[in-house]
């Protein structure tokens, strides 16, 4: 939570203009800062992180089947289904937790129109392999980069990969606008289509390009983002310190996600993998009894959603049953992490 007085000072600019939404100065200022920092030519700030995925699917005029990952937040899959498309799951790599490109090709059919992959906990997908497959089969690529704010791969922001990339600025994210998100592209034509799709289809106040929804970010949300913005580097460095402390204290007993080579990471989550689901449940219960609340994230594996026909995904299923995201936030202190790790280590047997 940023300083409330600082938030009110920024928000006053909106109050003074009586301008609460419809792309006010604060939204435009936030977009400019993000585009400049990550060297991305086009972006649209949105009211949440799910609508950008739905708009991306609509803007690319996708049909039929979308190859995707079973190990992500439910919004990745539900957006596909919501848009009347069919998710086709491909299992994940056992160490990075991202979609396994070696398993994608055999799932491609004449109905496949795109790949929608997630940079899991901000860890980059194998973007080169996915791009190669997309070119070979003339497929579009959308990246769910909800956790990737500040992550670079080979010195390039994750928002620069794929035809379109989306992000979440939800309150739980490393950079937040309380509730919010964004969609990114390098293509001007796509940007123009994204723009009217996110604003009811408007072409001026009385005319319409085509169909659209309301995905606009408000000035209240943008003000929150602008309040957090000056502290980004402090947030990144603090979380890195806490992340590495967890690793030091749990290194001999737990399995951690492997971060892809050539990645500058943002330390947005600290997921740990237990030997069994029973062990996870035991530890979670002990932590809860001490008022510590880790999250089973991502759980369940999305191929097991009740509104889908089951597709077996053995790696995703076993990881999702055994993975737990431990508390990680700016105000967490080293003593608290020591207590958390001590409770975990004492209850692993």
Instruction: List the CATH number of the domain containing 323.
Output: 3.90.1150.10
The CA-atom distances, in angstroms, between 211 and each of 14, 64, 78, 203, 214 are: 29, 20, 20, 11, 11
**pLDDT tens per residue, range 21-43:** 999 999 999 999 999 999 999 99
Both 61 and 80 in one domain: the answer is yes
> What is the overall mean pLDDT for the chain?
96
pLDDT of 318 reads: 98
Residues 37 and 95 in one domain: yes
- Residue pLDDT, tens place only, 151-204: 999 999 999 999 999 999 999 999 999 999 999 999 999 999 999 999 988 887
Residues 78 and 156 in one domain: yes
Q: Per-residue pLDDT tens for 296-311?
A: 999 999 999 999 999 9
pLDDT beyond 90 at 136:
yes
- How large is the average pLDDT for residues 321-337? 97
Q: Is the pLDDT of residue 289 over 80?
A: yes
Pick the last residue of a domain from 192, 213, 230: 230
- Residues whose CB falls within 8 Å of the CB of residue 12, separated by 6 or more in sequence, listed in order: none
Quote the number of domains for the chain.
2
48 and 197 fall within a common domain:
yes
Residue 243 banded pLDDT, cuts 50, 70, 90: very high
Q: State the residue range of the domain holding 316.
A: 231-346
Q: Flag whether pLDDT at 210 surpasses 90.
A: no
pLDDT tens figures, 53-96: 999 999 999 999 999 999 999 999 999 999 999 999 999 999 99
Considering the domain architecture, whether residues 194 and 208 belong to the same structural domain is answered as yes
Residue 206's pLDDT is 79
pLDDT of residue 204: 77
Question: If you average pLDDT over residues 111-116, what whole number do you get?
Answer: 98
Mean pLDDT score, 224-250: 97
Same domain (yes/no): 102, 161:
yes
Indicate if 76 and 15 belong to the same structural domain: yes
The answer to whether residues 321 and 194 belong to one domain is no
The verdict on 86 and 154 lying in the same domain is yes
Which backbone phi and psi does 52 adopt, to 5 degrees? Answer: -60, -35
Per-residue pLDDT at 49 exceeds 90:
yes
Domain boundary, last residue among 215, 230, 245: 230
Q: Are residues 235 and 213 in the same domain?
A: no
State the CATH number of the domain containing residue 104. 3.40.640.10
Say what the pLDDT of residue 211 is.
86
Please provide the size of the chain in residues: 349
Tell me the residue ranges of DSSP E strands in the chain: 42-46, 65-68, 86-89, 112-118, 140-144, 152-153, 156-157, 164-168, 181-185, 255-256, 263-264, 271-273, 323-325
Entry pTM: 0.96
Residue 325 has pLDDT above 80, yes or no: yes
| One domain, residues 49 and 197 | yes
203 & 258 share domain: no
Q: Among residues 230, 245, 279, which one ends one of the domains?
A: 230
């Amino acid at each position: 939570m940023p300083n409330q007085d600082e938030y009110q000072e920024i928000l006053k600019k909106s109050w003074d203009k009586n301008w609460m939404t419809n792309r006010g100065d604060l939204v435009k200022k936030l977009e400019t800062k993000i585009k400049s920092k990550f060297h991305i030519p086009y972006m649209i700030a949105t009211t949440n992180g799910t609508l950008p995925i739905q708009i991306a699917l609509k803007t690319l005029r996708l049909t039929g089947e979308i190859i995707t990952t079973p190990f992500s937040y439910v919004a990745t899959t539900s957006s596909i289904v919501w848009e009347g498309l069919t998710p086709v799951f491909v299992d994940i790599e056992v160490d990075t937790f991202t979609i396994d490109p070696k398993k994608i090709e055999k799932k491609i059919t004449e109905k496949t129109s795109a790949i929608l992959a997630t940079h899991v906990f901000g860890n980059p997908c194998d973007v080169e392999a996915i791009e190669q497959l997309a070119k070979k089969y003339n497929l579009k690529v959308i990246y769910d980069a909800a956790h990737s704010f500040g992550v670079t791969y080979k010195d390039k922001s994750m928002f620069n990969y794929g035809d379109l990339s989306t992000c979440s600025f939800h309150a739980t994210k490393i950079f937040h606008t309380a509730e919010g998100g964004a969609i990114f592209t390098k293509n001007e034509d796509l940007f123009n289509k994204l723009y009217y799709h996110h604003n009811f289809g408007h072409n001026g106040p009385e005319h319409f390009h085509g169909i659209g929804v309301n995905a606009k970010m408000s000035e209240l949300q943008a003000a929150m983002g602008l309040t957090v913005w000056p502290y980004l580097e402090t947030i990144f460095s603090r979380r890195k310190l806490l992340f590495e402390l967890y690793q030091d204290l749990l290194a001999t007993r737990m399995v951690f996600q492997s971060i892809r080579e050539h990645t500058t990471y943002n330390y947005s989550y600290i997921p740990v993998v237990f030997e069994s689901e029973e062990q996870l449940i035991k530890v979670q219960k002990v932590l809860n009894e001490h008022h510590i609340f880790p999250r089973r994230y991502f759980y369940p594996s999305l191929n097991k959603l009740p509104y889908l026909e089951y597709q077996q995904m053995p790696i995703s299923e076993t990881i999702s049953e055994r993975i737990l995201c431990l508390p990680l936030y700016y105000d967490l202190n080293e003593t608290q992490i020591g207590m958390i790790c001590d409770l975990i280590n004492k209850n692993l047997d």
